[in-house]
Structure 1
Amino acid sequence: MRTTPHHARTSTSTHTTATGSGTREKPGTRPEPPLRRGLWNMAFTELWERFSFYGLQGILSFYLLYSLAKGGLALDPAVASGIVGAYGGAVYLSQVLGAWLGDRLVSPQNMVLYGAVVITAGHVVLAFAPGFAGLGAGLVCIVLGTGALKTNITSIVGFVLEGNERERDAGFSYFYMAINIGAVVGPLTTGLVQNELGFHYGFGLAAIGMGAALVQYITSMKRLPERARTINNPLPANRRPLAVLAAVAFLAAVGTAFATGLLRAENLSTVVTFASLIAAAGYFLTMTTAPAVSRDERRRILGYLPLFLASGIYFGFLFQKFTAISILITERIDLHIGGWTFPVAWITTVSPLAAVLITPLIARMWKTLGERQPGPTAKVAIGLAQIGCAYLFLLVISEATGDAEIPLVLILLFMMAAGSSEVFVGPIGLSLATKIGPEKFRSQMVGLNFLTLALGSSLAGLLGQLFTAISNPSYFSLTAVCGIGLGLTLFATRRPLGRLLTSGLEH
């Protein structure tokens, strides 16, 4: 059965307007603005979840690369890149399933709750279980839990901002800023703890961050919009056994592939990359051929396709901070400042920190420009060109230093240039997905947007393996040319893509 549209459930009289908690406003009062109510609750929940995720991500690469004497697992750099890339890709690929479940079987509100519990369990396992067994079990829990949480919490933010088009991009920019604050504070703290006490203490601190996210969410659930508690497109009861059977068959296939050696650490990134592309193709095919999708909705989906591919490549370049750049740090960066060692996780933290610092300026600029601001295509083009220029800077550094160590300050400048470009891509994709998605596939459109991160993460793993096989100048030249070239191409096609993306929407 279809739920009543949100705008139809909202009364036009101030004394009868229902709030998200099911209570009624007093006569003469106004509902609390979305940016002050639901948005900030979700933003702080997401901040803590990202604290735990990036707190782990900030030290994971070095846990795999460092010697046993330093508390690491001493893996080959190419293998470590493959694992990190595959893990990041699987985290976002699992959100395809999370989006589907949040649309068909479980309300978005409950999906976020269940996901937070599973993620917390995963971080606890990493903190206390040593070796490969603990690593594998913990990462699997985080993959599944994040898949349940991420797309559904973003959909809830879309519900909160529904009907407020003037502040939509700004609202998502602030939500994305919360993501990046967690991405900064997490690695700063876990990196320091790892540097002083060891890796498993860092993993334990990430578990505390996820516990804080769970508490924050539980206390804010009652204030969420009614749509967050509603299953948008319930799966018929006679089709549920088939869904369970498909899930069991998939798990059996994955287990068999690992047991027979078909899936190995060396090829995990390749497998996840292809899986991301196949999942994306399935999404695009399903949504463009579904009878419930209108002609205008279909045109918007087709207009999103080039942006999807461009964003996936962009995140592949950005997430190299966990693969190729992490290898570069361990091999060529002098971390010693007097008698103190600069925590390696702090270097990658500069990237989201730059995005956090620039977000309020960019969000204010979008609000000031209003209808004169660049469209989504132009914004993504700017981000691609900027990160390409960051790699061009790294190429110059690499050539200037030769085989000598690269000064720490120069790699920090690179991280600032690359990280600040994210504000032109990440929040724009989130905003666009919740705006242009077909009515029947709104949550799954958000899931499709998160596949850009899955594609980018696994692509970063492949690029990290390429980094170990060719010279630094050749590698940085390739990434710089691709980033700048794709940005310019996308900018040149911004007008026809803009017409497709706005097809049937009110301006």
Structure 2
Amino acid sequence: MTVTPPRPRLAAPNASRAVPRSIWSMAFTELWERFSFYGLQGILSFYLLYSLDKGGLDLGASASAGIVGAYGGAVYLAQLVGAWIGDRLVSPKWVVLWGGVIIACGHVLLAAWPGPTGLGVGLVLIILGTGALKTNITSIVGFLLDGQSDAKRDAGFSYFYMAINVGAVIGPLSTGFAQNQWGFHYGFGLAAIGMLAAIIQYALSLKKLPERAGQVNNPLPRGKLVAPIGCTLAALAVVVAGSLAGWLTAENLSSVVTLVALVAAAGYFAVILCSTKVTSDEKRRVSAYLPLFLLSGVYFGFLFQKFTAISILITDRVDLDIGGWSFPVAWITTVSPLSAVLITPLVARLWGRLGPRQPGPAAKFAIGLIQIGVAYFFILLVSTVTGNGTIPLFLILAFMALAGSSEVFVGPIGLALATKIGPATFRAQMVGLNFLTLALGSSLSGLLGQLFAAIPSTAYFTIVATSAAVLGGALLLARKPLNKSLHAGVSAQ
């Protein structure tokens, strides 16, 4: 008698799936949003710098650096406001949707409305929309992974951030090609198409989002709406008055955004360190994080010069001609995030093999600063040897790879540190603080770009390279007491 073996039971779809299906929808939404964001950023500097006959606005080096630096800083500052709106006023699900619509409108205006006015209105809309979308879509990813194992949460966020990196690479590659072949406004139009794809992708997934995504987590009572509305109107009035009076100019925008970022950071630190809900060990950890916060802001200021000082250098001195074909200028800046993506698995494997013997957070920050300092010593050597002549393209690409790959020692380390050492009652604020390093770095890159335009390039690169190396060396010397304080009351593992 033949016994038929029982048929194997199929696992439920959600049980066999590494991550929930909705994660992929959010990942592709983010991919297209980053495609449009970095696609614009890859060509924005050159749109401001290029002469009118090349399709640019010819605003000059100082004004261009100021606008690009202020734009980048304002995008990250706006995300703090967007997070507050998604937590207190409107559910994250709808904040993300309307944020995407506002971003798309900004890109369409940039594509269809030539000149400084179209530029200004378009960038403001993109700043506001990105502020609404970015933090809230990340929150939704967290909601989708609620109740999952740590392994599945890590896998879900890994796919999500992989989408960010993919968008950051293919965006400038695509818009850079379009700009190179047909002009800047075709590049802007391609970024707009990418954002429309993000909206469609997200809209199709709205009904599948968890119930929590449609709820306001900590609703603000109606009686308390007056204060935030009043503050918003007052801020708008100050901006309008400053613009009409001539106090806000393209040249000083980066200074203003840098000041706002520093004031916001000081407010965060003050609230946390003065709170009675924070223990002495927690305050010790936050105090130790302060120098790393400042040095991280300086590091990103050096890194983001690819959009300011280095863009000016490329415009003035780099030969883009390869056998009669012009190398798309936006492709140069793409080398930086691409090198970071490629080196990340290698460095992650190294940390895994070293285990408890791996460097602490302060030492990793120091390595990042020293490496980017070496990159600027390299470009200093190139600039010195070539004098006022043309710089070969492959040397700029080598610089971008060396500088970009240093981010693996600072960016992800700062985020992981903020989530680990933050006080229990202020964990979200610590993540917000870490976000401010990007705002500070973006606006600082604008100031550095203006300095580059004002002094000889060899003197400038000497200052930047030496500053990075000295700061990295000093942090390396102070790593032991800093790491000890960073782990006060928590495990160092």
TM-score normalized with structure 1 length: 0.87
Please tell me the residue identity of whatever aligns with 2:198: A
Task: Give the counterpart of 2:467 among 477, 482, 492.
Answer: 482
Structure 1's 80 and 27: CA in aligned 2 closer, same or farther, altered over 3 A?
closer
Spell out the pairing of 1:395-410 with structure 2 (5 A cutoff): 395-410=380-395
1:62 corresponding residue in structure 2: 46
Equivalent residues of 2:282, 2:423 under 8 A apart: yes
Equivalent residues of 1:167, 1:367 under 8 A apart: no
Equivalent residues of 2:14, 2:20 under 8 A apart: no
User: Unmatched 5+ residue regions in structure 1?
Assistant: 1-25
Q: CA deviation at 1:302?
A: 2.3
Deviations along 1:6-48, whole A, 9 cap, x unmatched? xxxxxxxxxxxxxxxxxxxx99897567756565544433222
2:94 aligned with 1:110, yes or no? yes
Please tell me the residue identity of whatever aligns with 1:187: P
Matched residue SS, 1:265: coil
Please tell me the residue identity of whatever aligns with 1:103: D
Task: Give the counterpart of 2:185 among 188, 192, 200.
Answer: 200
Task: Give the counterpart of 1:77 among 45, 55, 61.
Answer: 61
2:77 aligned with 1:90, yes or no? no
Deviations along 1:406-436, whole A, 9 cap, x unmatched? 1100000000111111122222233333444
Please tell me the residue identity of whatever aligns with 1:141: L
2:237 aligned with 1:252, yes or no? yes
State which drifts further: 111-120 or 389-398: 111-120
Q: CA deviation at 1:488?
A: 2.3
2:489 aligned with 1:501, yes or no? no
Q: Distance in 2 between matches of 1:260 and 1:366?
A: 54
Task: Give the counterpart of 1:122 among 95, 103, 106.
Answer: 106
2:228 aligned with 1:240, yes or no? no
Deviations along 1:432-462, whole A, 9 cap, x unmatched? 3344444444443332222111111111111
Q: Distance in 2 between matches of 1:496 and 1:162?
A: 37
Structure 1's 419 and 205: CA in aligned 2 closer, same or farther, altered over 3 A?
same
2:331 aligned with 1:331, yes or no? no
Equivalent residues of 1:173, 1:359 under 8 A apart: no
Matched residue SS, 1:130: coil
Please tell me the residue identity of whatever aligns with 1:415: M
Equivalent residues of 2:18, 2:155 under 8 A apart: no
Percent sequence identity is 65
Please tell me the residue identity of whatever aligns with 1:81: A
Spell out the pairing of 1:47-446 with structure 2 (5 A cutoff): 47-157=31-141, 160=145, 175-220=160-205, 228-446=213-431
Please tell me the residue identity of whatever aligns with 1:316: G
Q: Distance in 2 between matches of 1:352 and 1:489?
A: 27
Q: CA deviation at 1:138?
A: 0.6
Equivalent residues of 1:155, 1:434 under 8 A apart: no
Counting matched residue pairs gives 482
Flag the structure with larger Rg. Answer: 2
TM-score normalized with structure 2 length: 0.89
Deviations along 1:147-192, whole A, 9 cap, x unmatched? 1222333444556488866798887666444323212111111011
Q: CA deviation at 1:400?
A: 1.4
Matched residue SS, 1:468: helix
State which drifts further: 301-310 or 454-463: 301-310
Q: Distance in 1 between matches of 2:112 and 2:391?
A: 36
Equivalent residues of 2:74, 2:257 under 8 A apart: yes
Q: CA deviation at 1:369?
A: 4.3
Structure 1's 27 and 50: CA in aligned 2 closer, same or farther, altered over 3 A?
closer
Structure 1's 272 and 134: CA in aligned 2 closer, same or farther, altered over 3 A?
same
Please tell me the residue identity of whatever aligns with 1:139: L
Q: CA deviation at 1:483?
A: 1.4
Structure 1's 291 and 105: CA in aligned 2 closer, same or farther, altered over 3 A?
farther
Q: Distance in 1 between matches of 2:215 and 2:439?
A: 27
Equivalent residues of 1:170, 1:364 under 8 A apart: no
Deviations along 1:110-150, whole A, 9 cap, x unmatched? 33333222111111111111211111111001111111222
Q: CA deviation at 1:243?
A: 1.1
2:7 corresponding residue in structure 1: none
Q: Distance in 2 between matches of 1:191 and 1:405?
A: 22
Q: Distance in 2 between matches of 1:35 and 1:422?
A: 27
Q: Distance in 2 between matches of 1:433 and 1:124?
A: 37
State which drifts further: 423-432 or 398-407: 423-432
Q: CA deviation at 1:201?
A: 0.7
Q: Distance in 2 between matches of 1:169 and 1:142?
A: 30
